Amino acid sequence: MKKIGDLKELFNSQTLAVLATHNNNQPHGCLVAFACSDDLEYL
């Protein structure tokens, strides 16, 4: 399963993500920290 390995590599090489939302046509973005379990069941 190459795709699973690719995801693990990506998640392990990054410490931040962008959470983007909008309200009343106004965008809002936040940097958030994240981690995942070894089996990628939890993010």
Tell me: the pLDDT tens digits for 7-43? Answer: 999 999 999 999 999 999 999 999 999 999 999 999 8
Rounded-to-integer distance, Cα 8 and Cα 27, Å: 29
Does 42 map to a domain?
no
- Backbone region of residue 25 per phi and psi (left: phi > 0; alpha: psi in -120 to 50; beta: other values): left
Does 40 map to a domain?
no
Does 43 map to a domain?
no
Tell me how many domains the chain contains: 1
Q: Which domain holds residue 27?
A: 2-33
User: What is the pTM (predicted TM-score) of this model?
Assistant: 0.63
Does 41 map to a domain?
no
Q: Are 8 and 14 in contact (CB under 8 A)?
A: no
Rounded-to-integer distance, Cα 18 and Cα 33, Å: 9
